[in-house]
Amino acid sequence: MKTAIIGGGAAAFFASINIKEHFPNSEVVLFEKTSKLLSKVLVSGGGRCNVTNSETSTSRFSKSYPRGEKQLKKLFNTFCNQDTINWFESRGVKIVSEEDGRMFPKSNTSQTIYDLFISETERLGIKIQLKSGVNSIKQEEEKINLEVNGHNLLFDKVIVCTGGSPQSEGFNWIKSLGHKIENPVPSLFTFNIPNEKITQLMGLSVPEASVSIQSTKLKHKGALLITHWGMSGPAVLKLSSFGARILSDKEYDFNINISWCGESNFEELREYFQSVIKENTKKKLFKIRPFNFPKRLWSYLLERSELVEEKPWGELGKKQLNKLIQIICNDTYHVKGKTTFKEEFVTCGGISLESINIKTMESKHVKNLYFAGEILDIDGVTGGFNFQAAWTTSFIASKLK
């Protein structure tokens, strides 16, 4: 059996290695159109490679995918995050977890993952052809004809792992074979908030903020990071991921509401502050920081509420208190534009899962043609979920059923 892998990234290497292990006598050739391999693996996780996530509940794990949740929930029964950990550790790469659930190689460098993939392909005799772009795919009876650098090559099986594309034109060669394409739009980005004083607090993080997008049902709670261009952190990144299509339609011009203290409502906060006032009548506002707000944030919120820091709590009038509570639980900012989150260049969109037999990852339109990784309309939030989707889909594709 001759199998071609198109692509030179994480899913491509994982698929090729597993094919060779499932079918030891097969010939496996990996085609990469550039001169570089595993580029995204090397830069991911700040150069540490966020391999997967330690979440133990399959249901909760699959909820981290705005696109592909239902399908992946089933696929994780075949290959889940624990299988990923076992796969790497059985090959000598220890995987460790951090407090937030992200998992990295113990070496703390993505070079370890890169070296493992390269050494495994060498050990198994997988052929790698660089600067070899696939120009066309055609079915010829039971085989698939690939045009590579002007040459026609016949294969029994082909797995496409070319990753996402920021433009729909990047999928035309797949669309021409009859596959439905979901229009690609950016996912996992931070919010630009130009000309707002809050950006002066850059570097400040609030552990439990709740962020929602006005005129939508989109809302997420988590750490919020203030940057010199606007806002980032898990709460914002989840919003950008789950709201990828909605925010694209809004042309990244919208309002957000922030509750700086999680999901407390106005009445709950009023009761809370009445007890604060009762216990600290003569103390000055800046001396008592509610919810352990960072000093810089508390000073900013007082200023935003038009309150003087030296004012005693006991002299806070009803209107002044109401305004302070409103700012804390329903602060509003105008977002104008986005910024890609570090190296996490993830797109929402790709080959529609309607065009794939999800149990095998085989095309419904071309026999013996399979897909895996980010080329599919599957994407997750930050934290190791996108790599896990790549491992799972490429492992299942590698069974070549």
pLDDT tens track for 5-38: 999 999 999 999 999 999 999 999 999 999 999 9
In this prediction, residue 45 carries a pLDDT of 87
Q: Three-state SS for 319?
A: helix
Q: What's the pLDDT band for 267 if we cut at 50, 70, 90?
A: very high
Q: What's the pLDDT band for 342 if we cut at 50, 70, 90?
A: low
The one-character DSSP state at 168 is G
pLDDT tens track for 296-309: 999 999 999 999 99
pLDDT tens track for 370-386: 999 999 999 999 999 99
Q: What's the pLDDT band for 167 if we cut at 50, 70, 90?
A: confident
Mean pLDDT of the chain: 96
Token pair of 123 as six digits? 């050990």
In this prediction, residue 344 carries a pLDDT of 59
List every span in the chain annotated with CATH 3.50.50.60: 2-186+344-397
Which residues, in sequence order, are bridge partners of residue 225? 205, 232
Distance between CA 105 and CA 109 in Å, rounded?
7
Token pair of 109 as six digits? 């460098």
The mean pLDDT of 129-146, rounded to a whole number, is 95
Residue 106 has pLDDT above 70, yes or no: yes
Distance between CA 296 and CA 305 in Å, rounded?
14
Distance between CA 273 and CA 197 in Å, rounded?
26
What architecture does CATH give domain 2-186+344-397? 3-Layer(bba) Sandwich (3.50)
Q: What's the pLDDT band for 263 if we cut at 50, 70, 90?
A: confident
H, E, C per residue of 44-98: HHHHCCCCEECCCCHHHHHCCCCECHHHHHHHCCCCCHHHHHHHHHCCCCCEEEC
Distance between CA 151 and CA 256 in Å, rounded?
53
In this prediction, residue 264 carries a pLDDT of 81
pLDDT tens track for 170-204: 899 999 999 999 999 999 999 999 989 999 999 99
Q: What's the pLDDT band for 166 if we cut at 50, 70, 90?
A: confident
Residue 259 has pLDDT above 80, yes or no: yes
